[in-house]
Chains A and B, each alone.
Chain A
Amino acid sequence: MKKMTYREAVKSALREALRSDPRVFLMGEDIGRYGGAFAVTHGLLEEFGPERVRDTPLSESTFLGAGIGAALGGMRPIVEIMTVNFSLLALDQIVNNAATLRHMSGGQLSVPLVVRMATGAGRQLAAQHSHSLEGWYTHIPGIKVLTPAVPADARGLLLAALRDPDPVFIFEHATLYPLEGEVDESAGPTEIGKAVVRREGDAMTLITYGGSLGKTLQAADQLSVEGIEAEVVDLRSLRPLDTPAILSSIAKTHRALIVDEGWRMGSFAAEIMAQIMEGGFYDLDMPVARVCSAEVPMPYAKHMEEAALPQAATIIATVKKML
């Protein structure tokens, strides 16, 4: 076990992949000479050279599509999109090609592509760099959506994505990069599609993922001081979704609150609520609740941004109302 930041954990997986598999290469904006917008790839250009750590022009659609083509051609590309808002420029390639080619070709094609991008708010970057759109991506059959919340998963899920024969999208909440955690660098990949219980409890199930895990755990700790023991489920993978893990926790607690940084309307939280209704309705003592972002483009001013996002205080208040 080694203490390292989320950023170092991602880099550890990238380096391991580049070292162990000659088919792996990285491609994205400012990942080489600049060292990565979030410094994740810093030093990799020097270590692996410009053929394998490729700086691209600001052509998101085309370099993501080139990742699809290179995957078809036998490579294992890892494409970095600087932030989720920029990924919208590549949405055509993602939705129309990456997600469709296996099925539409009658199973002939395989797109073993890994796409990483930063997501989420909390850094006063306003309405074009701060959104949490991973929920949108879960709407698309044919791709997988991962949201590692701790350094060990950032490494383990990236290694798993590289072994996956299908396109895998990894959403890294940008506030997580400097956070430290224990990482076992000899551990292999983390299985895709498995949620994990981060904290046990019987009063309530708090379901969350990615950048909201920290706030949710913080809320649970404070509730514990008041004698309320909440269980925290970290989804880790949004598609495939570990529905059994959600339902088994609810069977124990009979109450559920979802914490999701996406906007409330049409949110991933809504999907979880629907799945609980379908599979856990009779285990519930009361309606499922959710804490999501306010229905506004993310504002710049600090107090306004904080007010727009799920916070530990909001989570605590909502839990208390439910008990």
Chain B
Amino acid sequence: MSDAKVEIEREHALHLLREMVLIRRFEEGSAELYTLGKIRGFLHLYIGEEAVAVGAMQAFTPDDAIVATYREHGQALARGIPAGSLMAEMYGKANGCSRGRGGSMHFFDITRRFYGGHAIVGGGLPIALGLALADKLQGRARVTACFFGDGAVAEGEFHESLNLAALWKLPLLFLCENNLYAMGTALARHQAQTDIRLKAQGDGVPADAVDGMDVLAVESATKQAAEAVRRGDGPILLELRTYRFRAHSMADPELYRSKEEVEQWKARDPIALFVARLREWGLLVDADLAAIEGKVAREVSEAVGMAEAGPWEPIEDLTKDVYAPAER
């Protein structure tokens, strides 16, 4: 991270910080609720990667579309889906954003054009491609942002989607969150070419890499890329270099990486780094941080309250929405 001061409004800086802190505290709360058995299934925490979702999401308008992965709490919160709706989803309650049918891995909110929550690695890329194609065919100046991890670059659909997006010059922004591990397999242990930019370029998609621990760098790079994509210049891939501080999921004993490596990355905690910078620039005082923490704590606690109070979907509705209801 460069220490050079970036021109940034205090209000916007505090907004970015608040969003990152919200994700961090929401997920710490989720981990706790998981150990209490309130949240079940798989829970993949985003802690450490907050600057990616928060920085990137600043580039998109409400008309743009977001496609994400099973590690999507950060994107969902940064997109503005209410925390309570997400927490209720993880509780499996009917007031959850997917009526309790999806859980942690499958958040959907069509009013915010948030198209999941996809748990087949790479499977969201073709869907994002189709959303972008629909926009192009209908002459809409929208961007589809597709988040995926470094693990997805091993999938055929990665190359197929990049190729088609480039071939058809689609308004699609590929956001590769490189946290260095495909579940527990390090990038260098599953890819002969570890520079993801080169893979993208080989498929005809211009690519750049960004420090994913620097929220301002992510914001600036994503805004610039989104603008080009929106202009009709064709797809772009950004590799956002980041790191997941927690295990892959709650079931992961982390045998594949050393504590030292994790500690080294934690020294570049995106929230701590941003706080230090804002203090240095005189944009943040202790009272601001306390106010943010207080507000976030209330929001998370209200989210838990909403999940606790939420109703269960009636069992009679089990097969509802497998197909559209008959018209007659």
Which residues of chain B come closer than 8 Å to A93, judged between CB atoms? Answer: 123, 126
Task: Give the docked Cα–Cα distance between A273 and B17 (Å).
Answer: 63
For A67, A106, A110, which residue has the most chain B Cβ atoms within 10 angstroms?
A106
Contact indicator A72/B130 (Cβ below 8 Å): yes
Q: Who on chain A is nearest to B168 by CB?
A: A54
Contact indicator A103/B322 (Cβ below 8 Å): yes
Interface mask (A259-303 → B, CB under 8 Å = 1, otherwise 0): 000000000000000000000000000000000000000000000
Task: Give the docked Cα–Cα distance between A38 and B322 (Å).
Answer: 33
Q: Who on chain A is nearest to B323 by CB?
A: A166
B18 CB to nearest chain A CB (Å): 27
Task: Give the docked Cα–Cα distance between A144 and B99 (Å).
Answer: 24
B249 CB to nearest chain A CB (Å): 19
Contact indicator A109/B133 (Cβ below 8 Å): no
Contact indicator A65/B126 (Cβ below 8 Å): yes
Interface mask (B313-328 → A, CB under 8 Å = 1, otherwise 0): 0000001111110000
Which residues of chain B come closer than 8 Å to A75, judged between CB atoms? Answer: 133-134, 137-138
A43 within 8 A of B: no
Q: Who on chain B is nearest to A112 by CB?
A: B324
A20 within 8 A of B: no
A308 CB to nearest chain B CB (Å): 32
B306 within 8 A of A: no
Contact indicator B160/A61 (Cβ below 8 Å): yes
Q: Who on chain A is nearest to B133 by CB?
A: A70
Which residues of B in the span 104-129 have a Cβ within 8 Å of any Cβ on A? Answer: 106, 108-110, 115-116, 118, 120, 123, 125-129
A201 within 8 A of B: no
Q: Who on chain B is nearest to A113 by CB?
A: B130
Which residues of chain A come closer than 8 Å to B323, judged between CB atoms? Answer: 102, 142, 144, 166
Contact indicator A102/B160 (Cβ below 8 Å): no
Contact indicator B134/A70 (Cβ below 8 Å): yes
Which residues of B in the span 209-265 have a Cβ within 8 Å of any Cβ on A? Answer: none
Interface mask (A16-39 → B, CB under 8 Å = 1, otherwise 0): 000000000100000000000000
- Option from A72, A92, A101 in Cβ contact (under 8 Å) with B131: A72
A227 within 8 A of B: no
For B101, B127, B156, B320, which residue has the most chain A Cβ atoms within 10 angstroms?
B127
A226 within 8 A of B: no
A131 CB to nearest chain B CB (Å): 22
Interface mask (A159-178 → B, CB under 8 Å = 1, otherwise 0): 00000111000000000000
B48 within 8 A of A: no
Size category, A interface: 35 or more
Interface mask (A90-128 → B, CB under 8 Å = 1, otherwise 0): 001100110001111111111000000000000000000
- Option from A62, A103, A165 in Cβ contact (under 8 Å) with B164: A62
Which residues of chain A come closer than 8 Å to B125, judged between CB atoms? Answer: 62, 65
Decide: A103 near B127, CB < 8 A? Known: A59-B164, A61-B156, A108-B110.
Answer: no
- Option from B98, B102, B135, B157 in Cβ contact (under 8 Å) with A65: B157
Contact indicator B126/A69 (Cβ below 8 Å): yes
Interface mask (A41-77 → B, CB under 8 Å = 1, otherwise 0): 0000000000100101101011111111111111101
B161 within 8 A of A: yes
B138 CB to nearest chain A CB (Å): 7
Contact indicator B160/A59 (Cβ below 8 Å): yes
Contact indicator A103/B123 (Cβ below 8 Å): no
Task: Give the docked Cα–Cα distance between A104 and B41 (Å).
Answer: 15
Contact indicator B161/A62 (Cβ below 8 Å): yes
Contact indicator A104/B164 (Cβ below 8 Å): no
Which residues of chain B come closer than 8 Å to A57, judged between CB atoms? Answer: 160, 163-164, 167
- Option from A51, A62, A73, A166 in Cβ contact (under 8 Å) with B135: A73
A187 CB to nearest chain B CB (Å): 19
- Option from B98, B135, B157, B167 in Cβ contact (under 8 Å) with A104: B98
Which residues of chain B come closer than 8 Å to A69, judged between CB atoms? Answer: 115, 126-134
Task: Give the docked Cα–Cα distance between A294 and B322 (Å).
Answer: 34
B96 within 8 A of A: yes
A188 within 8 A of B: no
Which residues of chain A come closer than 8 Å to B126, judged between CB atoms? Answer: 61-66, 68-69, 93
A141 within 8 A of B: yes
Which residues of chain B come closer than 8 Å to A73, judged between CB atoms? Answer: 65, 130-135, 138
Which residues of chain B come closer than 8 Å to A97, judged between CB atoms? Answer: 118, 120, 123, 127
Query: Which 4 interchain pairs have the tightest Cβ spacing?
Result: A69-B130, A65-B126, A73-B134, A106-B99
Q: What are 20 residue pairs bridging A and B, where the CB atoms are less than 8 Å apart in the complex?
A: A57-B163, A59-B163, A61-B126, A65-B123, A65-B126, A65-B127, A66-B164, A69-B128, A69-B132, A69-B134, A72-B127, A72-B134, A73-B134, A75-B137, A93-B123, A96-B120, A105-B106, A107-B99, A109-B110, A144-B323
Q: Which residues of A contact B (CB under 8 A)?
A: 25, 51, 54, 56-57, 59, 61-75, 77, 92-93, 96-97, 101-110, 141-142, 144, 164-166
